[in-house]
């Protein structure tokens, strides 16, 4: 079992547990430097990120804001900026958390794009939905919401001449828990290789409210299951996923679920297949 866990962890470039506070601080600095290098190498000065209210986008946003603040200090160029984007589908049930996250990040700019009208307009034009069960349609439209959010972020990034940040990390990557060409699409993924408890640790190090750090993770894409916890979709807990990725013992059933899901979602972690 450990050999399988080690192989998967290596493929996802999983980072080891933080040995101490100094290791945590060093990792934060390394990831801020990574964000800065992505901007400077691209010759751009703006970062764009959708803030959902969950700890992943909160953490990525905190890293992004710190990155541009340091660049402004180091270069004297005040044009470096971070744009935090709210992307609700009509009225988000946990909007107060999303606003609290944006407030804590204190981004240079705040934008809001309601994706509801665009998703509904598209759905009306899709004849393939005719005769389909409501649950199936709801699931497909959930992925459409994620893709529409990324369209909005790239539209803003295009107008602002910036890069789009993604929030995928190892605990989601191993489960393929992202929408292909939706939240899985981005220019840089500063949380890559981290497990969930490491993402939380970074947010906590920034002083983020515990209510946001420990908030139950949800993609919140399905109208028929609003606020559905990620773990309900996974069939395993994030604690088990983290343990698996760090080579620690897990239940036999959890091991099987994670391995099976990893294999089934391989296509989501690679470039499009080509002959």
**DSSP for 50-77, written as a single string:** E--SSHHHHHHHHHHHHHHHHHHHHH--
Residue 56 annotated among the catalytic residues of the structure: yes
Residue 49's DSSP bridge partners are 84
CA angle 144, 145, 146 (to 5 degrees): 90
Of the residues 56, 108, 183, 222, only one is catalytic, namely 56
CA-to-CA distance for 66 and 60, rounded, in angstroms? 10
CA-to-CA distance for 87 and 95, rounded, in angstroms? 10
Residue 244 near residue 254, CB atoms below 8 Å: yes
- As given in the structure block, the two tokens for residue 209 are 């409210």
Residue 154 near residue 164, CB atoms below 8 Å: yes
User: How far, rounded to the nearest angstrom, does the alpha carbon of residue 48 sit from its chain's CA centroid?
Assistant: 13
The total of other beta-carbon atoms located within 10 Å of residue 247's CB is 18
The total of other beta-carbon atoms located within 10 Å of residue 167's CB is 26
Residue 94 annotated among the catalytic residues of the structure: no
CA-to-CA distance for 135 and 28, rounded, in angstroms? 41
Place of tokens 């690679």: 270
Of the residues 97, 108, 168, 172, only one is catalytic, namely 172
- As given in the structure block, the two tokens for residue 126 are 């899709």
Catalytic residue positions, numbered:
56, 172
């Amino acid at each position: 079992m450990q050999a399988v866990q080690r192989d998967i962890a290596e493929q996802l470039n999983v980072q080891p547990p933080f040995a101490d506070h100094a290791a945590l601080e060093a990792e934060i600095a390394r990831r801020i430097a990574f964000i800065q290098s992505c901007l400077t190498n691209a010759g751009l000065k703006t970062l764009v990120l959708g803030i959902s209210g969950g700890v992943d986008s909160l953490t990525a946003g905190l890293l992004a804001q710190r990155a541009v603040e340091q660049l402004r200090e180091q270069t004297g160029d005040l044009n470096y900026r971070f744009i935090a984007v709210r992307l609700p589908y009509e009225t988000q049930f946990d909007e107060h958390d999303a606003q609290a996250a944006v407030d804590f990040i204190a981004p240079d700019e705040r934008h809001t794009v309601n994706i509801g009208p665009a998703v509904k307009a598209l759905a009306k034009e899709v004849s393939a939905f005719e005769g389909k069960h409501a649950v199936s349609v709801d699931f497909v439209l959930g992925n459409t919401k994620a893709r529409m959010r990324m369209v909005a972020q790239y539209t803003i990034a295009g107008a602002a001449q910036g890069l789009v940040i993604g929030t995928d990390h190892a605990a989601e990557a191993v489960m393929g828990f992202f929408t292909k060409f939706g939240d899985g699409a981005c220019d840089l993924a500063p949380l890559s290789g981290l497990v969930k408890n490491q993402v939380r640790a970074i947010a906590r190090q920034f002083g983020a409210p515990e209510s946001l750090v420990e908030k139950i993770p949800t993609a919140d894409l399905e109208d028929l299951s609003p606020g559905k916890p990620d773990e309900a979709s996974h069939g395993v807990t994030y604690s088990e996923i983290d343990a698996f990725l760090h080579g620690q013992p897990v239940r036999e059933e959890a091991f099987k679920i994670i391995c099976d899901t990893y294999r089934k979602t391989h296509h989501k972690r690679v470039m499009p297949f080509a002959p």
